[in-house]
Structure 1
Amino acid sequence: MNRQKVQKRNGWGILLWSLILIVCLSGPFSLVFQGSWVRAQSDTLYRQGEVLCKMRPGQDVKVLVQRLGLSVLDQLEANTFRLGLPVGLTVPQALALLNADPSVEWAEPNFLLRLSQLDQRSQAFVDQRSQAFVDGYSPADYFDQYAARLLRLARAHEITRGGGITVAVIDTGIDPMHPVFTTLAEGYDFVDQDRAPTEQGNGPAYGHGTMVAGIVALVARDAAVMPLRAFTSDGVGAASDVVKAIRFATRQGAQVINMSFGLSTPSRAIREALAFAAQQGVVLVASAGNNGSTTPPFPASEDAFVWAVAATDPKDRRADFSNYGSFVDLCAPGVSIYSAYPGGRYAWWSGTSFSAPFVSGTVALVLSIGLEADRVMRTAIYVGSGLGRGRVDAWAALSR
């Protein structure tokens, strides 16, 4: 993965702009460029023309927007809003005004998050074969792939298949008609603001959500998958939509939330949503990132709330693209994973995005028989330094 190239330019205008940006973004948060999560191909790091803002208790957002000439675009939570900016007011300028206002607790850009696989520049390899679906048996590349054998899913399913548990998948949506999805919970499309969170578009991330959800369905066959679309097929999603997805999943009773995406800098809005979910007992699982480094992306960096999952290969070795280090909690297969793809098809794809749902599905199995989620960590098989407690083992988590 390539780091963002910064070209030197002459001129006092560029220098002045750089100084303004540093000052305006040095308040309660900072914009940190880490690894290749910030890419040269990215047009922007946040949405232009809007910001996120949390009011202090007892303060009225209407008074604030009237005073500063802003507008309320959306309400994310009781005190948290997405605000629109007037023409001519930049995001850094608005943040400087808001963070200096005594009625505001914090303000930040509406950051853009990216699906991990885009920065790895990997793509799905779609299987062109026509294959009949027989639950538990066909396609064999799906039910009997090396990852299923390593997790000992066949033996685990003799104990439970995850019935009664809901796993929310915040991603690009899914193909709800795919035969691997036998139980779906009602989801939502936060991109198009409707109740049909289906895969759309033809961007490089098309199929990502279906594949991630397909892995959850492979591991926990009877668990309900709750599809929440917060990312486009270009693999980009706004922090505001991720916040709403986390809170929606929590309020709708999801016990597990899978997050196969990342951001180079923490978002306070997302962090508060994660804290809300954790307080309700939701298990939060995130991909560790594909930079091959020890620098964690957000939200995998939130070790107080989130389980960070690295990727391993068929021989239980760290995948060369996978991040690793002290922030990692667990690892799971993430190389040449075979899963559902839109149109009733299947595909192979690699990345930590596809490691995380193996953990999410295993947590669902454990919760379904009344066991504590941390059994998944305590029974993992140690496979090397920097890969957390070890590689997840579904059968061991259920039987030991």
Structure 2
Amino acid sequence: MKNTFCKLVVSVTLFFSFLGLGPLAHAETSSEKEVIVVYKNTDGKETVLDSDAEVEQQYQHLPAVAVTADPETVKEFKQDPDILYVENNVTFTAADNTDLKVLSENADTSDNFEQWNLEPIQVKQAWKEGLTGKNVKIAVIDSGISPHDDLSISGGYSAVSYTSSYKDDNGHGTHVAGIIGAKHNGYGIDGIAPEAQIYAVKALDQNGSGDLQGLLKGIDWSIANGMDIVNMSLGTSSDSQILHDAMDKAYEKGVLLVAASGNEGNGKPVNYPAAYSSVVAVSATDQHNQLAAFSTTGNQVEFSAPGTDITSTYLHQYYATGSGTSQATPHAAAMFALLKQRDPGNTNVQLRALMQKNIVDLGITGRDQQFGYGLIRYKAQQADKAYAAAEQAVKKAEQTKTQADIDKAKKLVSKLPNSSAKKALQKRLDNVQAYRNVKDAKDKAAKAEKYKTQQTVDTAQAAINKLPNGTDKKNLQKRLDQVKRYIASKQAKDKVAKAEKSKKKTDVGSAQSAVNKLPAGSEKTSLQKRLNKVKSSNVKTAQQSVAAAEKKSTDANAAKAQKAVNELQSGKDKTSLQKRLDKVKKKVAAAEAKKVETAKAKVKKAEKDKTKKSKTAAQSAVNQLKASHEKTKLQKRLNAVKPKK
């Protein structure tokens, strides 16, 4: 740093936590409150937007809307089946436990600060291998980032209401950002991933306070802008469903989330969001690789990192020294950035697994509640050894030409750093794979020719599709097409025979579909003729049944005719016969209606006369009716009639 201004070294212990039961986020009337409404579907979203509630924020990637609403509206939201749940928009603030010591710098003081925290994580070895976090995007969701000669800020976003600037007016976010990405420029400090693209996402104000609505905006922005990693040196002891859902959504989108475990001390539960399974929880260690006294612990702790007396950038071009899991978290986020640069194709899930190979196990063997899998520590790639193993695997694949050996060689070659040597091995491996693909296609085509089943044909086709255009692919496709024609012919013959036997509409339709797939020729013509006979036979049967129903209009005849008509394929014959049958059905229905009226009259007469003769006549009329609700009612009335003695 230039000596034209003084550097300020401050000792701070900073960690942010939610006041889960705190006051509402912003000033509001007693009759209204700020809530976040999580909807199930579009109808739920429209319900919120169309309500009287004042919309504060809509989220792009989260199914939620932040609003200010009166209690009655909130109650209606909670009762709406299209709304999942409603949560209050609570405040969260800094745990104000700051001890600042200002030191003036004299002219003889070095421009470089001591950084004990770099040695335990062996990050200098990663720098020697050219790993600096280049092209990795990291969002620091915090109090913003202040302009500083030792920092490069790629951009940012303000999620607070009082300013559109993402400039830090508190100091915590700038301190976190320096740990991740301070420049290697010969003065000040060295960040772990100096060439990472750091984005300031301001969710906390000048007092270190914010609200859940703002934090969700920060997560939503990180998803929308394709962040690789999100650093959250903040937390709460209170669980939140929408916060949990937001973290899971970001993780599903491929974002690697890293958060502080908390500063409540050993034995206290891990804070949220670090406690969620979609988030990497980080505890803090001291200069002796022991657990920092303030660090929270629990089963959710995944890794540990230096977190005591950490020097980093601060406001007004100053530097500060701070302690907390807030400081441990950016160590882990930055190390993830180095691993992401080394293996850019790795997903967030793969990076978490990879970090387990870049640790030193502290405490109890294996994962424990204090250190997780262990202290993050970069482990140098053994390039020569890895290349030798890959080359040996390629040789074996060239000899055996088995897919298992090819796959093993592919895996080893893919892990090598990009180089001409790697390209040469890959080319040799591609040649072996090409040979293997042709052989597999030939074997599977031969199997299809032998067994002539759809499964063997599909398997052979998939293998042939993998081949590049050329003689091998062309010849194999011709052979397979012959098998396909044989199968199609056999299926068509079998289905036509089945249709001839059953004469069912479904079988006729299935047979017609199979015949349609055949190429034009004598075989297709012959099968179509046979199928047409079945169709004609079905039409004749339906015609006879409809004629019988027209001659004698009974329920039984109408049902029989309908069954025959239903078996016909769609067309003029079916339409014409259905129209005729509908007339019969109307006639049958009219006759039945007439019977009902007759039965009603006779039951009424029996109720009036109460004679055995009238009841017998009524019973005879009721018995002639079809089973129906009307028949049941008439029978009950008739049962109630007691003839005169």
The bucket for the TM-score relative to the shorter chain is 0.7 to 0.9
**Cα offset, 1:71, TM superposition:** 2.3
- Post-superposition offset of 1:270: 2.2
Give the number of the structure whose alpha-carbon radius of gyration is greater. 2
Q: Secondary structure at the match of 1:167?
A: strand
Instruction: Give deviations 1:174-227, integer Å, cap 9, x for gaps.
Output: 112x12213x22211111476531012xxxxx2100000010111001111111
- Asked if residue 209 in structure 1 is aligned to residue 209 in structure 2, the reply is no
User: How far did residue 154 of structure 1 move?
Assistant: 2.0
Shift of residue 72 of structure 1? 1.8
Counterpart contact for 2:179–2:192, Cα < 8 Å: yes
How far is 1:273 from its partner? Answer: 2.1
Q: Which residue of 2 aligns with 1:122?
A: 98
- The yes-or-no answer on 1:191 pairing with 2:154 is no
Aligned residue runs from structure 1 range 209-358, under 5 A: 209-217=173-181, 218-292=191-265, 293-303=267-277, 305-358=278-331
Counterpart among 61, 64, 69 of residue 80 in structure 1: 64
Q: Is the 8 A contact 1:190 1:229 kept in 2?
A: yes
Please state whether the residue corresponding to 2:242 is helix, strand or coil: helix
Cα distance between partner residues in 2 of 1:361 and 1:264? 25
What is the deviation of 1:380? Answer: 0.9
> Where in structure 2 are the equivalents of 1:354-373 lying within 5 Å?
354-370=327-343, 372=346, 373=351
Q: TM-score, normalised by structure 2?
A: 0.49
Check 1:103–1:286 CA distance in 2 against 1; reply closer, same or farther (3 A cut). same
Deviation at 1:252, TM superposition (A): 1.4
1:140 aligns with 2:112: yes
Aligned-partner Cα distance in 2 for 1:328–1:163:
28
2:126 match: 156
More strand by share: 1
After TM superposition, give the deviation of residue 62 of structure 1 in Å.
5.0
In structure 2, what is the Cα distance between the partners aligned to 1:256 and 1:131? 39
SS in structure 2 at match of 1:222: coil
Paired with 1:207 and 1:153, the residues of 2 have a C-alpha distance of 25
With over 3 angstroms needed to count, the CA separation of the structure-2 counterparts of 1:269 and 1:130, relative to structure 1, is farther
Tell me how far 1:132 sits from its aligned partner.
11
Report if aligned partners of 2:262, 2:325 keep a CA contact under 8 Å in 1: yes
* Counterpart secondary structure, 1:278: helix
Report the secondary structure of 1:297's partner residue. coil
Cα deviation digits, residues 224-272 of structure 1 (max 9, x gap): 1111000012222211111111121222121110001112222222222
Q: What is the Cα deviation at residue 155 of structure 1?
A: 2.0
Q: Please name the residue that 1:55 is paired with.
A: 39
Provide the C-alpha distance between the structure 2 equivalents of 1:278 and 1:369, rounded to a whole number of angstroms. 21
Shift of the 302–85 alpha-carbon distance from structure 1 to 2, 3 Å rule, reads same
* SS at structure 1 position matched to 2:140: strand
Offset of residue 56 of structure 1: 2.5
Separation (CA, whole Å) in 2 of partners of 1:242 and 1:190:
7
Deviations 1:117-149 (A, max 9, x none): x16x1345455437999xxxx7432xx411011
Q: Aligned pair 1:170/2:137, yes or no? A: no
Structure 2 equivalent of residue 99 of structure 1 = 78
Task: Decide whether the 8 Å contact of 2:141 with 2:203 is kept in 1.
Answer: yes
Query: What CA distance in whole angstroms lies between the structure 1 residues aligned with 2:335 and 2:285?
Result: 16
Matched to 1:164, the amino acid is N
The ranges of structure 1 where at least 4 consecutive aligned residues each deviate by more than 3 angstroms after the TM superposition are 36-40, 45-48, 60-67, 93-97, 122-128, 130-133, 192-195, 397-400
SS of residue matched to 2:155: coil
AA paired with 1:140? N
Query: Where do 5+ consecutive residues of structure 2 fail to align?
Result: 1-15, 182-190, 384-645
Shift in Å, 1:65: 6.2
Bigger proportion of residues as helix: 2
- Distance (Å, rounded) in 2 between the aligned partners of 1:170 and 1:295: 22
RMSD of the TM alignment (CA)? 2.8
Partner amino acid, structure 1, of 2:324: G
Change (3 A) 1:130 1:72: farther
For the Cα contact (< 8 Å) 1:262–1:299, is it kept in 2? yes
In 2: Cα distance, 1:317 partner to 1:389 partner: 14
Once the two structures are TM-superposed, the CA of residue 341 in structure 1 deviates from its matched residue by 0.5
Which residue type is aligned with residue 129 of structure 1? E
Of residues 232-241 and 71-80 in structure 1, the stretch that sits farther from structure 2 once superposed is 71-80
Question: Which residue identity lines up with residue 149 of structure 1 in the other structure?
Answer: E
Among all aligned residue pairs of Structure 1 and Structure 2, give the percentage whose two residues are the same amino acid: 26
Whole-Å separation in 2 of the counterparts to 1:64 and 1:250: 23
State whether residues 179 and 327 of structure 2, in contact with CA within 8 Å, keep that contact through their aligned partners in structure 1: yes
The change in CA–CA distance for 1:250 and 1:61 in structure 2 (over 3 A counts) is: closer
Counterpart of 1:59 in 2: which secondary structure? Answer: helix
Q: In 2, distance between residues paired with 1:275 and 1:356? A: 19
Q: Equivalents in 2 of 1:228, 1:263: separation in Å?
A: 19
1:13 paired residue number: none
Q: Does the aligned pair in 2 maintain the 1:294–1:323 contact within 8 Å? A: yes
- CA distance in 1 between partners of 2:295 and 2:67 (Å): 36
Instruction: Map 1:372-387; keep pairs closer than 5 Å.
Output: 372=346, 373-374=351-352, 375-384=354-363, 385=368, 386-387=370-371
Query: How many angstroms apart in 2 are the aligned matches of 1:396 and 1:275?
Result: 30
Whole-angstrom distance in 1 between the partners of 2:56 and 2:145:
27
Deviates more, 1:155-164 or 1:77-86: 77-86
SS at match of 1:357: helix
Residue 391 of structure 1: which of 352, 362, 375 is its match?
375
| Aligned-residue offset at 1:44 | 2.1
Number of aligned pairs?
Answer: 340
Distance 1:268 1:257 in 2: 19
What corresponds to 2:452 in structure 1?
none
Distance across 1 between alignment mates of 2:18 and 2:50: 35
Question: Separation in 1 of the partners of 2:125 and 2:64?
Answer: 46
